[in-house]
A = this chain, B = another copy of it.
Amino acid sequence: MALIELRKPYLLFVGAAGSPLDAKTAAGVAYWRPENCRAQLRLSEKAVDLGFPDMTVKDAAAAGCTTFVMGLAPVGGKLPDSWISLCVEVLESGMDIASGLHARLAEVPAIAEAAERSGCRVFDVREPPPDLPCGTGRKRSGKRLLTVGTDCCVGKMFSALAIDAELRRRGVKSTFRATGQTGILIQGSGLAVDAVVSDFLSGAVEVLAPENEADHWDVIEGQGSLFHPAYAAVSLGLLHGAQADTLVLCHELGRTDIDGDYDDYPIPDLEEVIATNLTLARRTNRNATLAGFSVNSSNLGEAQAMAAMAELEDLHNVPVVDPVRTGVAKLVDNLK
């Protein structure tokens, strides 16, 4: 079972994005894996500067870039002809393309033909590998941490990346296991679990985070929430397939309702979220624990945020961190 494995270093495509938020995937790669980036390609001088040298495709190829990272959806959604020509030029220059777009670049005839001609590859990272197996539930060696959530978009990817970085900073063996397109482009490998056929979901996670050395951590990016009316199935497949030794609960302080167009779905009770996650996690790893909370407190002022975190800590008796505000050291101290 071959997972995506991108060649490094990257040429980051910024397009004409005016802010890091508009180019958040490229900005994420630049923030978390600057060592994998060599250059940026901006279509306008006003586009956001991610801090790498501006290069044309030709110059980037000459400078040794091997993958062109396109994490940015075009305005309006439709791929403009000029982007298609750019992709053709990239492939003809000898670089691969890694795309996080919904539209599959490999299915655009001009791009497919250029890939064929050049021998370079187009990785649509939202596309899961074929022939995934069903889950086995068999115990495997190595340690695994999974970030779970009270909702979507509460920092499950960011927290996992921060915990992985802190573990490695301490000399602990650790690998970030990406489960969504942005995480996959950051890590250069991974598997988009929400695109996997339901029957193969826990099997896909077993493939993504396989057995490893006994003292090695896989830090697995969670998705959704067991209490999300649309995406809970993805979360449970992840929970069972991960056989996690420990869970980190991600939560946005002050959020009261499930994000998006859902009527009457309050953020679930934290005790219920913890109990249900642990009950189900223990089905495939009977020793699963809660390592702590990783919160997003960006809506609160400093004093308010620290007070709210202290209150959560008292209530649930586990470390509570905000990866941006406090870092994750206190949580990582608690990992065995």
A contact residues vs B (CB 8 Å cutoff): 134-139, 193-199, 201-203, 226-227, 229-234, 236-237, 240, 261-265, 268, 272, 276, 279-280, 283-284
Contact = CB atoms under 8 A, between A and B. Distances in A.
Contacts of A234: 198-199, 233
Contacts of A193: 198
Given A194-B198, A265-B137, A272-B279, A233 B233 contact: yes
B230 A203 contact: yes
Contacts of A229: 135-137, 202, 240, 283-284
Contacts of A233: 198, 201-202, 233-234, 236-237, 240
Given A136-B262, A196-B197, A283-B268, A202 B230 contact: yes
Given A136-B262, A229-B284, A265-B137, A201 B198 contact: yes
A280 B226 contact: yes
- Specify how many copies of this chain sit in the oligomer: 2
A90 B245 CA distance: 55
5 contacts: A135-B229, A139-B263, A194-B197, A199-B231, A232-B240
Given A134-B231, A135-B229, A226-B280, 17 more contacts: A135-B230, A137-B262, A137-B265, A194-B197, A194-B199, A195-B197, A197-B197, A198-B201, A199-B230, A199-B234, A202-B229, A226-B236, A233-B233, A233-B234, A233-B236, A236-B236, A276-B279
A203 B268 CA distance: 21
A159 B136 CA distance: 27
Contacts of A197: 194-198
A287 to B, nearest CB: 13
Given A262-B136, A279-B276, A199 B195 contact: yes
Nearest to A203: B230
Contacts of A264: 139
Contacts of A232: 202, 236-237, 240, 280, 283
**Residue from A136, A139, A230, A276 having most chain B Cβ neighbours under 10 A:** A230
A236 B201 CA distance: 12
Contacts of A284: 229
**Residue from A203, A261, A283 having most chain B Cβ neighbours under 10 A:** A283
A233 B280 CA distance: 11
Closest 9 pairs (CB-CB, A-B): A137-B229, A233-B237, A135-B230, A194-B199, A233-B233, A201-B233, A236-B236, A134-B230, A198-B234
Contacts of A136: 229-230, 261-262
A244 to B, nearest CB: 13
Contacts of A279: 272, 276
A234 B198 CA distance: 6
Nearest to A233: B237
Contacts of A138: 262-263
